[in-house]
A and B are shown apart, each in its own frame.
Chain A
């Protein structure tokens, strides 16, 4: 707690001064892109200035050519995914690629012939998603190199975030993009090396921060949206084309979209109107900051929505505003001037639900129930990546939980707080039928835990995204399990401490590339505790956590026989004495004493301190705290009432416990639930059967 007071204001200052960000930009991209709507291709000229931020002289550059993942079925992406991602299949004849036509050092050597494909992650010689370019002269430490690159990007039919669908174009991962050179000491690097992974099915991205100045030329009938702020718009009436210029500092990616069908709506996020003094006060108390420190900035919210989703315009804007507000209050003000939300058309769902700096893609259905928050969840989640991955630039290839897991945790908090329990998004012929059928509502927390319960304990949270056991394991370990893990940490440390941890994490590592170990350090520092036991078991390990109530015995305390010392003399209590004493007690209606023995067990390998609560029939409650280290513990008590109920972790704070069923014991099973569900099941069967 004390440490935080020294460290955070400096970090906060660094992050809030966006223009003079913590780092001098590593990359500077100037790209001219022309969209050929007939060929579904982008003709691009890229001028990249890359600064060598390391003490090493670097004689080789590495680039991602992400679109080449979609050029045939032999790429690592296709082999791993089988041509499917998130339920989408790569359409036949919908291949995409990026071709580097020329690469030249500005005013110097032509490097085109020096380009060779490499495969640093696997031995797949057919994968062409990473290139290495040998330089004629190494780039000296602290010096920069400028390259001119001509390229052609043939977009695939929409698949895995990018592509075209009829007259809708989404350009993501569309240009030759330089990798990250990690000097010794950066993240886990022991010596300087390129961190430039191939494009994998279960993986996203990693890149350096920099400045972008991109012009996009598209037919004038098209509506264009992109990362950054639109600086200019020039129409060429002869060619019926318009050129848009977008500029953005301190981001690590640039994406854009174009379609003649978009309905473009713009609104302003006005913090004075959106955030109340009470909310600022409450969050201020939580994170230990003054109102001034929590001040948010106005933001232009731009929505590019499909005409058939016009009725959901307000829902989308409310979701963005809620995200801007709560992410801003909890972690730090959104520093950019704009946020653009793109609603892909029907048939282009593969481009939906994706994050790029200052531009996100959403996704909704034609009709959405009043108590469904599916579109909101997507918008808030993708917006959340502006923080987790966007500004806190973790490596999605190697530690996907730091962006997806953190974001699932943050999104769930907003959804549960603002929207509450939601209906399951089950539609029939576009009718939301879940309410009529009385299907269960759910909160995000419940959904996350539900997924966690089926986690098969084969992978730790942290590992390369393509090395997980399977896609399900990647998904659960990247999204839901970390969300549950962070919730458990919050319950253990308390909401204020957790709120300060998350704020410190954001402020300290804004525009940096931190690791899981960095997060552990922030947790230890802010909480003032050594939490390595937590991280070792639940982040870096696969151990199962499961505590159970093993047995509860409750016996009437008998009158004991034998020789007892009373007033210095030995007195014998015989069988006859026992009968007499029991008769006297019954006559006096004395309450009997009960000897209660409770045994708790640790079933899993993982250890977590837990509380036990025992409730007696007379209403008295007894609490015990167990450090949980031994395999079992026994509590013996003598009370004037029988035990009615014993619960481990009665508030269900330890969401990592893999079995809540065995956390409790009741003396008398409640008949109501069983009667109710017997009646339900029987009636449904009677109605369904002929």
Chain B
């Protein structure tokens, strides 16, 4: 059964692990290129869509694995299905919002009010993902899986706040370039990945986020 489940979990012939790794690599590449100054401004905003787009096949393949009850280190449950659906909706809204932001930033002679209004939706879409994780913690009935998600989130928070604190003071000393605040959310999502690896090493299961 697990073989069938793994097969059905694959989207375009790839497993959730593949898409997850690809998303991690694209985040790392974007971060590296942005820090090196190779990409910036509108190009960076557009390229930030890449890891978000990769999240779509990742969620699809993960969802199919959930449905198939595969033997992966992935638990199945209604709360997780709802979580995946909410993340997919937030991601879609984010992509639309980013398109609107890029359009506004590229338009000439546009009023600051419109620029501000266009800059709000992407952040709200990201909040949607945080909300989805919060709801997952509230709705998950399996206490072990819930503990893994909480642990993952705490690890991501510890990593992000630690790096943000150090980075901020280094900025004062002009030792590092200025980092736009939305990068901390990006780092937090990457921290969830580190939390999942930590879960796997300590408890033998990745978690649900």
- A is bound by B: no
